[in-house]
Structure 1
């Protein structure tokens, strides 16, 4: 280490020591308050005033309206509607937004400016929550987020985030929680956006507003990456002890020098993972640095170093060690909880109002103690050292240990009366939050375990314990929007994961079943006749095809319309025969002249052009033959099916003819849309509409399915065009760059890469809109659409 590096290390250590001294002074003041139990009489008086707004005696009116009881707060939409109906929504949003301003933005609620900003935010949010938008699009869905991005002019940024979240999730190793990583990233991006919204106000020009939102989203992602790729990774068992040491040294060197070191030689079994993480974090770190001035950059590095070092101190603690002092338990918590809040502001280089630093510093431990209380059993299971787990483990042998529950109330008292100067609104909001946390704990773990916990942690003063327990049992109107959103997001992510697993399982199971029925038996009427057509057809059918069209028809026919597999098997075969025939024609030298299809040489390369042409014609006729063999429906229905199929085949031929005629010629976007739907979208439409015809579905549903198919088909083709430019041969199973080589008009050539991505997501949203009009029993079509826009082959 050269002299400059030694000097930088000394500066970093000095910065940490200063922060540690401040934390030690804060802890000492809290310790004295705990010993004196000052919080008990004061908070008792606070609760006496507070309960007037939260404990309501039942009235005659409430007796007769019991049928309209309070819904589960986890039922997001119903709960918001119920609050609005009962006239509670304003108060609910006001305490929620006030709390966020205090916790995340470091604001004092006694400020008239803050009160005005809270009111404006509440009014805007209420309007958003209660307005009838005329659709059922989920705000937290990809379609909902993309629609928001369009309004703000940050579509490209949101597309970038979608791609990044997908990549990060796919690279989270076993032993870590990809769903939790995604949730944390989304939460942090939202938090940084909140800071930016607060700073920029409503006076900005649209262009400047878009620029600031773009920057905030990217900064949020860059900062958020540290949680899964530093905190969660080092907390997990993915890395060996030696790898954790290497990795921690790398992070420490980055924060001390302000430059990400080269990775160099990595010792351990996780080389590929670390290379990926190193690349992503380096890009994120450089982006943050590039957005900061020298002063804010220095502050960011100092705060990040304090946060990381305090985390490291806590991370190596062993819960079996009986000798940690109170200072060793709490000072790192004070440091990491306050610096994590400060970092979000320094990332944005946001200005700080008077008192921000102190409010944020004193507030942090309150939030950390509340979180540690909620997670104590999970932490205990993981062997993590927190004030609660350590007290549970050692309080009988260590009477000197501070009861963390008593410290929690002491911190609350100190914040209300010393930091926020006994402000009435602050007292109301913080007591709401405290009782809400206990209520949620009791709901999560049950009354029995809750009582056991309270018996241990709240037994220091039985009178105060009785007050708390009464509030927890009887108090109402203490719910918060951020908790509702957190529960709602976790439910969405959990449901999405289960639905996606079901989707992938269905595809795999049905694909195997379809592969089994596809081969065409060879019939040799004359043993002297050499007949290569069947062999050629089976060669094409045997390729590694996705079978999406027959799979969709299977799901629609069986899951949605209750048809029997035996009745629609001919339909499934016909769809794949027709699709395979179209691919054979498409690959011919007279058309796209492709050499690879489904990971193997194309048919005309393996046999010859004439056999390929005859095989494609043969498969189209086999498709018609299969459809005509459907005999468990009335003849008019089957005839309607065949007529529809013939019409779709004719349209596909027209689409291919348009494609051939357009080679080397510029097309308009409208012409390309028409051509692509006839080439690709029709296949999707047929897989939806043909089972609907057999099930004699109503015309309204058929129209909605056709609209879904139209936009899904075009989204599919745009993704194909993007993959033709950006994809990998090994994943695609076909040649890359053929469109440019053949001078074909594509969505990329007409719109550019960025424009093509936007168009794909626009068609994605329109397809989702169409699905809202169909009452389907499964979410298969939604996840099919997700698969189409997120696939890499």
Structure 2
């Protein structure tokens, strides 16, 4: 390791440590002498006037809505607006974000104007989304909402890129880690970096430059945010053993000291694949950040990154069984890691800081860290992690010298209000709002009894001051924050998505197995030899490893949504798969796509010949009609309507294939390609949805929505197929790649290019999602099917 780099990094860390020691010493004096108590008591009494209302008997007769649970996102936003509280709610929330994440002083006229604009923009968006969607995932947390924002800003490619990256990260988070919290922290960092960039731009920035800077912000945010799940959380978890943690930490420190990510080295055990993925992602992220540093900011970036990582490391390796840690050893690392984690964001962006930004950010960090450690105290105790709270709880009876972290927390608040933010009234209100809100949330989470028990311990030195605090916790109102609402909502959305995805996968697997068991065509004992041969070739094609998307979709909609009897719709399931398999046989013929492999096996014409394949395809189509006509237990006119619909759609599929064959060698327009795609692929998805709806006698308005969804979902599915044709591999796909290029066939990639095709796929994805939002039924399965379609690898 380069000695000069190491010496420079150590010098930088020592200087930061000295500054942290001076800060801690001033806080120590305030705690010991309790000088913060009278000052903060006066602050709280002034703050109380806004937040503790006197209720008169008339209030019992006043009209109004009861406050809904904050977990009901849309109703809660609607209630805030109805009661006139939304403006104040957003103002304190955005003000806090500007102070915490952007390092702004709230008394600055420019900052006030920026907050006012952002509050107005967010309010407008919230009210629009509340009107358009009475429930479900808020727009900003959905893939469709994110992509629509990307379109508006002209950064679709960056959004597509980060969606793919987030999917990869989610798929590699070990079960020992909290997946939802790891993903939330990563998304929070990306949003934070984007906010920094937006705040640095004004109306004079041209659209092209704005798009370029936002594009970079998303990629930089991901690159920096990746350190939280795959450095911070990974090292805090029990995934790696002590030797692996040491090896991993050495690798990170080497990268920060040399500016180059070392090779991963030798890894054994169960974590080899995880380390390979994490190493590759972090290496690319590191190089991306480094490549975006100006020469004059590179040194600052590496220095701050080293302070952050080294202070984290020192804090992480503490042992709760060690009773000899000094107050300085407990607090200096958290002052350094909490401040440097925010300072490094500006460094990552190579951005110019406002006057006083570094100082405000340095002093602010520990406030947030002490609040977070208080919230996580019981989890940390269970994990035997060392934080000021867990250490004090364990050793307060043995160590009279230990500083009470709860007292230090209030001393920090007093210091921030009066020494850092110059006694600004708005800053005082926002910081105290946040502090009381944190205690309210803790009380609600752990229960009154446990909360009071903890407060007895941490406030024993200041009983009068604590009584004032607890009175505010009981009586104060209007201290909720939008970012907390979003945090809870994101966790809920991620958790629900995981559960829904598991349910989707289980349903998909179970129904697929059931369908597979029903597909084989039986051979009666008196079957003529020629028909035996025909049944054998048909069964050969049906035995392939097909996804069975279409009959699965029919089963889920028919049984789960329309209440049809599972056994009664088996003929319909068979007919759909017979029709689909027949279409694949014809597609693969030498006269058409000339494919050699399908569903992981040689195509039928390769095993036999083209004539046999053609006859088998026709046979399966006739079997499909036979199955439909055998549907019993349904209204006869509905069955006739289903057969008429099926026949018409089968004819249109043939027309789509004819159009496709006629287009070979020709350059198609996007409109022509969409039409061919719908007739070839989209109709089959439509039939899977509409046919069970016909049997269930669903109304025409809902059927129209099903058709709209199927149209866009089918095209999105086909575009993904075209992308996989150039990006996929034979082993995963079960069929050769590059077929379209070899056959001189126009597709979405040849017309639009890979980036353009991806954008077109996401546009159809969004339109399919928007159709689902109008559906009067539970669409979780369809939503996850759609996500599967655009995110699949095969």
TM range (shorter): over 0.9
Cα distance, 1:177 vs structure 2:
3.0
Which whole-Å deviations, capped at 9, do the CAs of 1:9-46 have from their partners, x for residues lacking one?
11111110111111111111111110001121111111
2:246 equivalent in structure 1: 245
2:117 equivalent in structure 1: 120
Q: Which moved more, 1:122-131 or 1:439-448?
A: 122-131
Aligned-partner Cα distance in 1 for 2:97–2:778: 39
What's the secondary structure of 1:531's corresponding residue?
A: helix
Q: Spell out the pairing of 1:218-257 with structure 2 (5 A cutoff).
A: 218-257=219-258
2:107 equivalent in structure 1: 110
Cα distance, 1:245 vs structure 2:
1.8
Cα distance, 1:196 vs structure 2:
0.6
Cα distance, 1:645 vs structure 2:
0.5
What's the secondary structure of 1:720's corresponding residue?
A: helix
Which whole-Å deviations, capped at 9, do the CAs of 1:710-763 have from their partners, x for residues lacking one?
000000000000000000211111111111111110000000000000000000
Alignment pair present for 1:720 and 2:717: no
Aligned-partner Cα distance in 1 for 2:93–2:277: 39
2:34 equivalent in structure 1: 37
Which whole-Å deviations, capped at 9, do the CAs of 1:678-721 have from their partners, x for residues lacking one?
11111100000001101111111111100100000000000000
1:77 equivalent in structure 2: 74
Cα distance, 1:131 vs structure 2:
3.4
2:3 equivalent in structure 1: 6
Cα distance, 1:523 vs structure 2:
2.0
Note closer, same or farther for the CA distance 1:632–1:299 as it changes in structure 2 (3 Å cut).
Answer: same
1:198 equivalent in structure 2: 199
Which whole-Å deviations, capped at 9, do the CAs of 1:362-411 have from their partners, x for residues lacking one?
11000000000000011111111101111111111112111110110111
Note closer, same or farther for the CA distance 1:417–1:689 as it changes in structure 2 (3 Å cut).
Answer: same
Give yes or no for contact 2:537–2:616 (8 Å, CA) kept in 1.
yes
Aligned-partner Cα distance in 2 for 1:553–1:445: 45
Of 85, 107, 132, which residue of structure 2 is paired with 1:88?
Answer: 85
Give yes or no for contact 1:243–1:268 (8 Å, CA) kept in 2.
no
Aligned-partner Cα distance in 2 for 1:168–1:615: 45
Give yes or no for contact 2:716–2:761 (8 Å, CA) kept in 1.
yes
Which whole-Å deviations, capped at 9, do the CAs of 1:154-205 have from their partners, x for residues lacking one?
0110000011111122122332233322211111000001111111123211
1:681 equivalent in structure 2: 682
Q: Spell out the pairing of 1:517-532 with structure 2 (5 A cutoff).
A: 517-525=518-526, 531-532=532-533
Which whole-Å deviations, capped at 9, do the CAs of 1:607-632 have from their partners, x for residues lacking one?
22222111111111111011001121
Note closer, same or farther for the CA distance 1:219–1:132 as it changes in structure 2 (3 Å cut).
Answer: closer
Cα distance, 1:267 vs structure 2:
5.4
What's the secondary structure of 1:270's corresponding residue?
A: helix
Note closer, same or farther for the CA distance 1:646–1:526 as it changes in structure 2 (3 Å cut).
Answer: closer
Give yes or no for contact 1:560–1:778 (8 Å, CA) kept in 2.
no
Which whole-Å deviations, capped at 9, do the CAs of 1:203-233 have from their partners, x for residues lacking one?
2111111011001111101101111111112
Aligned-partner Cα distance in 2 for 1:396–1:266: 44
1:540 equivalent in structure 2: 541
2:574 equivalent in structure 1: 573
Alignment pair present for 1:53 and 2:54: no
Q: Which moved more, 1:771-780 or 1:65-74?
A: 65-74
Aligned-partner Cα distance in 2 for 1:404–1:27: 12
Q: Spell out the pairing of 1:74-473 with structure 2 (5 A cutoff).
A: 74-131=71-128, 135-136=132-133, 138-266=139-267, 269-473=270-474
Give yes or no for contact 2:579–2:620 (8 Å, CA) kept in 1.
yes
Cα distance, 1:527 vs structure 2:
6.9
Which whole-Å deviations, capped at 9, do the CAs of 1:288-342 have from their partners, x for residues lacking one?
1111112211111100000000011011111111111111000000000000000
Which whole-Å deviations, capped at 9, do the CAs of 1:440-493 have from their partners, x for residues lacking one?
001111111111111111121111111111100110000111111111111111
Unmatched runs of 5 consecutive residues or more in structure 2: none
TM-score (norm 1): 0.98
2:20 equivalent in structure 1: 23
Cα distance, 1:584 vs structure 2:
1.0
1:497 equivalent in structure 2: 498
| C-alpha RMSD of matched pairs (Å) | 1.5
Q: Which moved more, 1:660-669 or 1:32-41?
A: 660-669
Cα distance, 1:241 vs structure 2:
2.1
What's the secondary structure of 2:297's corresponding residue?
A: helix
